């Protein structure tokens, strides 16, 4: 399932002093946030680190990228905030620690704890209150989950290798020993050595051209949490798109990339006009090979993006608005624990929608909203079927579960609808002023759901308590499903598609040639494919395909939905193209529904298994895990027995 998950309890952060009482139990420490003078509790079950005892403040990272061995050889020098304790603890997973030095001793003692399959091992280093920094020399392993190493033939250019990282949610520890929870922020500098001819870029200040030394320097002056640490290295070119915006891509893709992101500078300006200044100076995007497991990742200053949004018509660039919006919701105001993930994603979807409305108009943004709403309804149904109704709450309790397993539409789209409900009740002017103030009051801090509710009460709801009661905030956040006051999304353009679907498929009173597609945007086509009736048969799919040519579409969203329907109805004519798609694209959002649809029958499961074997080298660890779990869960009885019989 695409259940995301994680953490429990109320984590916290900010710049607090290390004044905890030594007697306080580890997972229940009260610390003072010096920025707000609030007393807060720390509890992050997905990190071994104890930031309330000793917390990092800055990282100097030195990395050599070794493509031959598919490893990073590195030293992480961590500067420590003032502390009284005698230990600093880092999260690590699969790192080979070579040595540890401290500022006051040449080498210092450390222990590496036992390995947990989800959490990794705690690296505990003995320090004194005088210790200013610790310096850890280490190597990663080729199977480090955050890292994806690609052979030249897996890239567009086919001549140079490529590597990238994906740290969210708890994978930063597989390439950097770090205090790996969203509640700990630090600044960083890095020095990265690459093979000749390959450019490196990070979530930091970035080079735009190759140099002769093959050494690149990076600086991130604003404090960020570890899940936003990012590194990419490949045959990359840079193109400026606007005064503060640009794009990196392989040379073969750079023209198309530049065109696709032509509205990015406008998006940034509209975003600032809505919710205040962009505080990260530049906003650039790097297009990765199609193996990237997500659509986009909001690494500060440098969003990592899938090339599957490059269509030639800018129709899928809402994803860029989304990652850009994270520069406020997520990167500035950060979810305190992964239980509060909706604070990152729900606010971001709301902000994304507002950017799209400002750039393309309300009709357009309502089409996007309606498409997402349908996705949410589908997922709600799945949650109910799988008896996972508790996962339909905005505030989650994910203790003991892996946050990387999945991300659900609840955080994104129920979160969005909640904020839209507030906007519709209090009016756009008041709600926009509230949000702008929220981002500025809480910049570079973490937010718990509870602290947000408190802030919302004081700064918006209390202005009209009668209205507040009607909004049912508690039900939205702590209740399951969608409350009755859920906003209604209206799209005339998509209503027209419903009409065609009804008349052509259900009433059967028109010919396919009478479906007039003049003026349809990609979203009308996506909606059409997503809403093909369950009753559609293979013959009818062939007729539709002949008219619309969906099997040959160059739009990945259309392909994703079409292949899902093809697999549901065993429409074999699309299977060749579907297999090519599944082998070349590693984006989990597309893979999961298609594999799921295939796995409904024993023959489909066999095919899925065969395709997965071919595709696996092109999938990142995050996607591999999801698909392997799915194949295992849906394995037909006879196959399971057969395998068991063979030992």
Provide, rounded to whole angstroms, the least separation between the CB of residue 580 and Zn ion: 28
Check if 323 is active-site.
Answer: yes
Residue 574 DSSP code:
G
Which chain residues interact with ligand BES by CB under 6 A? Answer: 4, 168-169, 294-298, 319, 322-323, 326, 345, 407, 412, 589
Q: With CB cut-offs between 5 and 8 Å by kind, which of Zn ion, ligand BES, none does residue 297 bind?
A: ligand BES
Minimum CB distance to Zn ion smaller for 235 or for 348: 348
Name residue, tokens 């604070």.
343
End-to-end CA distance of the chain: 28
Minimum CB distance to ligand BES smaller for 6 or for 241: 6
Q: With CB cut-offs between 5 and 8 Å by kind, which of ligand BES, Zn ion, none does residue 169 bind?
A: ligand BES
Binding footprint of Zn ion, residue count (CB under 5 A): 2
| Residue 282, CA distances (Å) to 303, 324, 500 in order | 11, 11, 45
Minimum CB distance to ligand BES smaller for 100 or for 231: 231
Identify whether the C-beta of residue 138 lies closer than 8 Å to the C-beta of residue 76: yes
Provide, rounded to whole angstroms, the least separation between the CB of residue 168 and ligand BES: 4
Q: What is the dihedral of CA 501, 507, 513, 515, to 10 degrees?
A: -30
- Main-chain phi, psi angles of 258, to 5 degrees: -65, -45
Q: With CB cut-offs between 5 and 8 Å by kind, which of Zn ion, ligand BES, none does residue 294 bind?
A: ligand BES
Provide, rounded to whole angstroms, the least separation between the CB of residue 539 and ligand BES: 34
Provide, rounded to whole angstroms, the least separation between the CB of residue 313 and ligand BES: 17
Minimum CB distance to ligand BES smaller for 140 or for 165: 165
Range list of H helices, 518-620: 522-530, 538-548, 556-568, 575-584, 588-598, 602-615
Cis (ω within 30 of 0) for the bond into 169?
yes
Q: Which of 412, 426, 438, 612 is catalytic?
A: 412
Minimum CB distance to Zn ion smaller for 395 or for 589: 589
- Name 216's bridge partners: 192
Identify whether the C-beta of residue 35 lies closer than 8 Å to the C-beta of residue 15: yes
Question: What is the C-alpha separation between 283 and 247, in angstroms, rounded?
Answer: 9
What tokens does 629 get? 């779990």
Provide, rounded to whole angstroms, the least separation between the CB of residue 5 and Zn ion: 15
Provide, rounded to whole angstroms, the least separation between the CB of residue 445 and Zn ion: 19
- Main-chain phi, psi angles of 478, to 5 degrees: -105, -5
Q: Which of 258, 323, 345, 423 is catalytic?
A: 323
Name every residue whose Cβ is closer than 8 Å to that of residue 137 and which is 6 or more positions away in sequence.
74, 75, 97, 98, 99, 100, 101
Minimum CB distance to Zn ion smaller for 83 or for 322: 322
Q: With CB cut-offs between 5 and 8 Å by kind, which of Zn ion, ligand BES, none does residue 558 bind?
A: none
Provide, rounded to whole angstroms, the least separation between the CB of residue 616 and ligand BES: 20
Question: What is the C-alpha separation between 325 and 318, in angstroms, rounded?
Answer: 10
Residues 342-371 that bind Zn ion (CB under 5 A): 345, 348
The piece of 340-348, 350-358, 429-437, 563-571 that touches Zn ion (CB under 5 A) is 340-348
Q: With CB cut-offs between 5 and 8 Å by kind, which of Zn ion, ligand BES, none does residue 589 bind?
A: ligand BES
Check if 527 is active-site.
Answer: no
Q: What is the CA radius of gyration of the chain?
A: 25
Q: Which of 304, 279, 303 is nearest to 445 (CA)?
A: 279
Minimum CB distance to ligand BES smaller for 50 or for 401: 401
Identify whether the C-beta of residue 337 lies closer than 8 Å to the C-beta of residue 7: yes
Q: Kindly list the residues in this chain that would bind Zn ion in the complex (CB under 5 A).
A: 345, 348
Q: Which residues are catalytic?
A: 323, 412
């Amino acid at each position: 399932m695409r259940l995301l998950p994680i953490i429990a309890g109320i984590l916290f952060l900010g710049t607090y002093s290390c004044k905890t009482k030594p007697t306080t139990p580890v997972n229940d420490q009260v610390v003072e946030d010096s920025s707000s003078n609030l007393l807060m509790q720390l509890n992050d079950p997905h990190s071994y680190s104890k930031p309330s005892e000793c917390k990092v403040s800055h990282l100097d990272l030195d990395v050599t990228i070794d493509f031959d061995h598919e490893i990073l050889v590195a030293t992480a020098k961590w500067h420590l905030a003032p502390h009284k304790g005698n230990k600093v603890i880092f999260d690590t997973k699969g790192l080979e620690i070579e040595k540890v030095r401290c500022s006051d001793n040449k080498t210092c003692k450390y222990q590496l704890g036992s390995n947990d399959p989800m959490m990794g091992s705690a690296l505990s280093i003995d320090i004194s209150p005088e210790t200013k920094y610790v310096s850890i020399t280490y190597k990663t392993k080729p199977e480090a989950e955050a890292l994806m190493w690609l052979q030249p033939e897996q890239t567009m250019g086919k001549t140079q290798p490529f590597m990238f990282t994906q740290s969210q949610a708890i994978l930063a520890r597989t390439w950097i020993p770090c205090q790996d929870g969203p509640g700990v922020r630090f600044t960083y500098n890095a020095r990265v050595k690459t093979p000749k001819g390959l450019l490196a870029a990070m979530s930091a200040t970035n080079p735009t051209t190759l140099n002769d030394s093959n050494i690149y320097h990076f600086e991130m002056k604003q404090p960020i949490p570890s899940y936003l640490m990012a590194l990419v290295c490949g045959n990359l070119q840079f193109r400026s798109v606007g005064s503060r915006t640009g794009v990196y891509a392989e040379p073969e893709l750079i023209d198309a990339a530049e065109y696709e992101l032509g509205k990015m500078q406008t998006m940034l300006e509209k975003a600032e006009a809505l919710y205040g200044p962009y505080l990260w100076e530049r906003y650039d995007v790097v297009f990765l090979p199609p193996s990237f497991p997500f659509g986009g990742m909001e690494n500060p200053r440098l969003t990592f993006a899938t090339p599957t949004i490059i269509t030639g018509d800018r129709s899928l660039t809402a994803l860029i608005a989304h990652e850009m919006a994270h520069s406020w919701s997520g990167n500035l105001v950060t979810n305190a624990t992964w239980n509060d993930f909706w604070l990152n994603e729900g606010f971001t979807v709301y902000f994304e929608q507002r950017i799209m409305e400002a750039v393309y108009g309300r009709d357009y943004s309502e089409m996007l909203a309606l498409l997402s709403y349908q996705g949410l309804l589908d997922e709600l149904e799945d949650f109910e079927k799988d008896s996972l109704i508790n996962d339909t709450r905005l505030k989650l309790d994910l203790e003991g579960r892996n946050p990387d397993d999945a991300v659900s539409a609840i955080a994104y789209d129920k979160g969005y609808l909640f904020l839209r409900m507030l906007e519709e009740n209090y009016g756009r002017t008041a709600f926009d002023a509230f949000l702008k103030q929220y981002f500025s009051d809480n910049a570079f801090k973490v937010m718990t759901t509870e602290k947000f509710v408190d802030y919302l009460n004081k700064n918006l709801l209390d202005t009209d308590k009668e209205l507040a009661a009607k909004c049912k905030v508690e039900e939205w956040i702590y209740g399951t499903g969608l409350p009755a006051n859920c906003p209604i999304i209206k799209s005339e353009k998509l209503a027209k598609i419903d009409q065609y679907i009804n008349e052509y498929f259900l009433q059967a009173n028109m010919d396919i040639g009478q479906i007039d597609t003049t003026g349809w945007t990609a979203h009308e086509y996506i909606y059409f494919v997503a809403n093909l009736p369950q009753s559609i048969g293979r013959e009818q799919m062939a007729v539709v395909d002949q008219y619309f040519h969906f099997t040959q579409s160059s739009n990945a969203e259309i392909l994703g939905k079409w292949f899902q329907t093809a697999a549901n109805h065993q429409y074999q004519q699309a299977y060749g193209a579907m297999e090519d798609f599944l082998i070349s694209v590693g984006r989990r959002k597309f893979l999961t529904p298609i594999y799921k649809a295939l796995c409904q029958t024993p023959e489909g499961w066999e095919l899925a298994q065969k395709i997965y074997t071919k595709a696996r080298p092109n999938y990142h660890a995050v996607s591999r895990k999801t698909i392997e779990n799915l194949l295992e869960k849906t394995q037909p009885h006879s196959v399971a027995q057969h395998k068991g019989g063979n030992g």
